[in-house]
Amino acid sequence: MKIFPAIDIKDKKCVRLIKGDFENKTEYETSPIDQAKKYQDHGFKDLHIVDLDGALTGRTVNLDIIQEVVSKHDLKIEIGGGVRTLDSIKKYVDMGVDKVILGSAAIKNKEFLKEACEKFKNKIALGLDAKDGNLYVSGWKENLNIKTLDFLKDIKDYGVSRLIYTDIDRDGTKESPNFEETVKVADVSSCPVIISGGVSSINDIKKAKELSKKNIEGIIVGKAIYDGDIKLDELAKEIDA
């Protein structure tokens, strides 16, 4: 069971959003570089990064910060946010990230997703963000009226190496993840699934670990770390435990 502490980058700072709302964000003093070091020092092996500037602009805005994190720290990094071209994927893969997360662009254009998976084997993770079972894109503002489970059936042979499933209504709320819906997604998914959104306490981590036999690969922890609801020492004890 992999534990992915999270870093969301906006204006060179670590931030957290509530339900993806850029107007409802909290900025933290620690720089992304220092935060990554803190995670490594506590024994974490995996790291989830979102370039929020990239998500807003559709470009790899914080490439320099990601490069520094990759070069300075021995962490398996998955990175997303504004990755909309094969060239952007190549930049990240070339610098040594473990997985590149595709979102809106890949969901709206399945051919792009398919081509990316073929060109960058075992490097493509797919971020699916849903509300009431429907997929949302473009910073969660656009409801595609496509059921998550139907979409997964359509792309099951593409070669996606990891799925990150976020329940929009839980993200940043610390109300616990939607485990029930995530298990349904994992049942249909042809690749391992990461739980995302709403982690509130160490009990959520323990519950996620109980699901590891159900095609659940790991869990992302963000706001609960920054707000002190989960201590890093406590969370680190759950790594490979």
Q: Give the Å distances, CA to CA, from 100 to 133, 164, 185, 210, 234.
A: 24, 11, 20, 27, 28
Asked if residue 182 lies in contact with residue 212, where contact means CB atoms within 8 angstroms, the answer is no
What pairs with residue 13 in β-bridges? 10
State how far the Cα of 62 lies from the Cα of 52, in Å rounded to an integer.
Answer: 9
| Catalytic hit among 46, 129, 167, 171 | 129
DSSP-assigned states of every residue in 109-176: -HHHHHHHHHHSTTTEEEEEEEETTEEEETTTTEEEEEEHHHHHHHTTTS---EEEEEETTTTTTTS-
List Cβ neighbours of 30 (8 Å cut-off, separation of 6 or more): 14, 38
Q: Give the Å distances, CA to CA, from 68 to 32, 54, 64.
A: 10, 17, 6
Does residue 129 carry a catalytic annotation?
A: yes
State how far the Cα of 149 lies from the Cα of 163, in Å rounded to an integer.
Answer: 12
Q: Checking DSSP bridges between strand 134-137 and strand 162-167, what pairing results, if any?
A: unpaired
Catalytic residues: 8, 129
